[in-house]
């Protein structure tokens, strides 16, 4: 599918899969080309409430952006909506979700994220992680006491330090503005992808895929072949 904004033509593809070991898919995807808005959310919470949290976050994000809100304002509203849902339904209390969202304006993108769902910029030759995980292991890497390779294997690698719906204080999303060059790919994904594939593997698939539709299929398939221990979305 394509859509035009200024002189840029945006192609996109999206796929979400439960993976090999989870009964439910708690990830949610948002593709809203009419708003030039795309997002991935990775929900958590008992009794399938992770699915509720990630879907609610993306619904509120979309509504807010439709009304002209910036991504960080929209994310704050999504956070409040998840907390409010928990206040009215005890089974939903404590549910939360990560989120990574991208809004395009011509070749310019604005990213916002919370948690360990990620954004990458990928060209034919290189892959660059644009977001920085709100996770315990990323904190250790930033402090210089752990390498990225150690972080990938660490037993606490799934511990996130910020998400929507669970913080006592308002979350502080990471925000980044940048520009895509022609042919570059902006990849948004949940940790079910990056937990199973290295950045180099993602780059290899991206460099050789014939179309974006085939790329998302190949990425999900490869994550499942490497274990598929979590829901996979990209």
Q: Does 133 bind Ca ion (CB under 5 A)?
A: no
Please say which residue, 5 or 229, places its beta carbon nearer to Ca ion: 229
Which of 58, 15, 52 is CA-nearest to residue 35? 58
Q: Does 51 bind Ca ion (CB under 5 A)?
A: no
Total number of residues that touch Ca ion (CB under 5 A): 5
Contact (Cβ atoms closer than 8 angstroms) between residue 199 and residue 132: no
Looking at the DSSP bridge assignments, the partners of residue 29 are 40
Dist. CA 115–CA 138, nearest whole Å: 10
Please say which residue, 63 or 199, places its beta carbon nearer to Ca ion: 199
Please say which residue, 94 or 178, places its beta carbon nearer to Ca ion: 94
DSSP state of 164: B
Q: Is the dihedral of CA 104, 197, 28, 206 positive or negative?
A: positive
Give the shortest CB-223-to-Ca ion separation in angstroms. Answer: 11
Q: Which 20-49 positions form the footprint of Ca ion (CB under 5 A)?
A: 42
Give the shortest CB-230-to-Ca ion separation in angstroms. Answer: 4
Out of 17, 51, 133, 191, point to the residue binding Ca ion (CB under 5 A).
191
Q: Which pair of structure tokens corresponds to residue 26?
A: 């708690």
Dist. CA 68–CA 232, nearest whole Å: 30
Q: Does 17 bind Ca ion (CB under 5 A)?
A: no
- Interface with Ca ion (CB under 5 A): 42, 190-192, 230
């Amino acid at each position: 599918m394509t859509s035009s904004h200024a002189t840029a033509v945006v192609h996109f593809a999206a796929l979400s899969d439960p993976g090999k070991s989870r009964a439910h898919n708690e990830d949610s995807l948002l593709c809203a080309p009419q708003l030039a808005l795309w997002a991935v959310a990775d929900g958590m919470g008992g009794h399938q409430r992770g699915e509720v949290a990630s879907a609610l976050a993306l619904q509120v994000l979309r509504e807010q952006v439709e009304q002209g809100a910036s991504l960080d304002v929209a994310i704050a509203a999504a956070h409040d909506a998840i907390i409010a849902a928990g206040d009215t339904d005890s089974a939903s209390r404590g549910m939360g979700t990560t989120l990574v969202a991208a809004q395009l304006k011509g070749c310019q993108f604005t990213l916002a994220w919370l948690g360990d769902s990620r954004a990458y910029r990928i060209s034919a030759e290189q892959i660059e992680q644009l977001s920085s995980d709100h996770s315990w292991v990323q904190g250790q890497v930033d402090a210089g006491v752990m390498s990225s390779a150690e972080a990938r294997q660490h037993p606490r690698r799934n511990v996130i330090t910020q998400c929507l719906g669970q913080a006592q204080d308002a979350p502080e999303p990471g925000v980044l503005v940048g520009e895509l060059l022609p042919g570059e790919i902006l990849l948004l994904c949940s940790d079910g992808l990056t937990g199973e594939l290295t950045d180099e593997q993602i780059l290899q698939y991206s460099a050789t895929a014939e179309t974006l539709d085939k790329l998302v299929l190949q990425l999900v398939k490869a994550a499942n072949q490497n274990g598929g221990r979590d829901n996979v979305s990209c």
